Structure 1
Amino acid sequence: MNTIDNKALVQRIHDELDKGNGQVFVDSLADDASWKLEGSTAWSRTYRGKKAIREELLNPLFAQFAGPYVSKTERIIAEGDRVVVLFSGDVPTKAGKRYNNRYCYVYRLEGGKVKELTEYFDTALVQEALQAPSATVAAHAG
C-alpha cells in the first residue's frame, strides 16, 4: 500500500471513531499489532498482539466509561507507511469524572493493517480521571 492508501485507511478508521464506532479500528489491527502508550501512567506500556490490546487495554478502559466515547478528528498527515492523527475525545466516567483527552496517534501500517501504534496523550488527565487497568480488571473479576 502507498501513502494515499494508508491515509485513506486511517481516515476511514477515524471517520468511524468520530461516529462512536470502534469496530473498524479493532478490525484494522494486525493480529501481531503493538500499541505503545507513552508516559509513566499505570496504562503506559506496549500492548502486544490484538488479543492483549482488547483484553488489557480496550476492555478495562471502556469499562470505566458511563456513555459512548466521542472523538473528533482534527488532522491526518501521511508519509509512506506512517500516518499521524491529531484528535480529541470526550466521555464521562462511571466515577463521575470527565475524560476529555487530546491525542496524537502515530500509526505504522503494513499490508492494509495497523502494525504499530504509538499514542501520545495528556498523562495527568489519565491519572486524574481513570483507575489503573489492574483495578478495573479486579473490579470486574469479583
Structure 2
Amino acid sequence: MTSNRAIVNAYYAALARLDVEAFEALHQPDVVYNVSGNTVISGRYDSFEALKSILPLIFDALDFDQFQFAKNWKIMNESTVGITAIMEAEGIAKNGKRYDQRYAHIFTFRDGKIASVHEFFDTHLANESLEFTGKDPCQTDGTFKF
C-alpha cells in the first residue's frame, strides 16, 4: 500500500508535469475539494468530475511556457488522519502578469487515495493575475466548509 506521504508527493509531481490523468488517479472519485476565498472558483466541489470543470478556467489563464505549478513543495505536518503541505507555483499568466502563488493544502485519505482537500491561496493575486474579477462564478456544490 502506498503511503500518504508518497501520494502527496505524486500529487505535486503530477501538477508539475500537468499530468491530469495521473493527478486524477490519486483521488477518490467522490473527493471533496474546499477552495478558499472569494474567487470565481471558490467553494466546495463534491467529486473529481466537478473539480475538473474549473481546470480550464485556470489553465486557460496561464502561459505554460513561462509558468509552473508545483515548482517547490514541502510536507509541513503529517498525522494518521491527514497531511498539511505547502506548494509554490511561479511564472507568468497569458496576460503578462506575474502569478507567483503559494498554496496550502490539507489532505485526508481513504483506501489509499485522496478523500478531501482544503486549499488556501492568495485569492487577491488569483483574481488580479488570472483576471477572475468580473467573471461569473463557477457552479459549485456549495460553500467552503470545514
Query: TM-score scaled to structure 1, two decimals?
Result: 0.80
Distance 1:127 1:134 in 2: 9
- Counterparts in 2 of 1:12 and 1:38: CA distance versus 1, 3 Å: same
- Give yes or no for the alignment of 1:30 onto 2:10: no
Give the C-alpha shift of residue 136 in structure 1: 8.5
Distance 2:8 2:129 in 1: 27
* Greater share of helix: 1
1:140 maps to which residue? none
Give the C-alpha shift of residue 135 in structure 1: 3.9
- Give yes or no for the alignment of 1:65 onto 2:62: yes
Distance 1:73 1:40 in 2: 25
Query: 3-state DSSP class of the match of 2:38?
Result: coil
- Mind listing any 5+ residue stretches in structure 2 that lack a counterpart? 138-146
Distance 1:117 1:40 in 2: 17
Q: Is the 8 A contact 1:36 1:118 kept in 2?
A: yes
Give the C-alpha shift of residue 72 in structure 1: 2.5
Residues paired across the two proteins, number: 134
Give the C-alpha shift of residue 102 in structure 1: 0.4
Structure 1 letter corresponding to 2:41: W
Query: 3-state DSSP class of the match of 1:74?
Result: strand
- Mind listing any 5+ residue stretches in structure 1 that lack a counterpart? 138-142
Q: Structure 1, residues 69-101: CA drift from partner, whole Å, max 9, x if none? A: 422233213211311111100232222212110
Distance 2:7 2:126 in 1: 28
Distance 1:21 1:82 in 2: 23
- Counterparts in 2 of 1:9 and 1:58: CA distance versus 1, 3 Å: same
Query: TM-score scaled to structure 2, two decimals?
Result: 0.78
Query: 3-state DSSP class of the match of 2:9?
Result: helix
- Counterparts in 2 of 1:60 and 1:134: CA distance versus 1, 3 Å: farther
Query: 3-state DSSP class of the match of 1:25?
Result: helix
Q: Is the 8 A contact 1:63 1:136 kept in 2?
A: no
Identity of aligned residues (%): 24
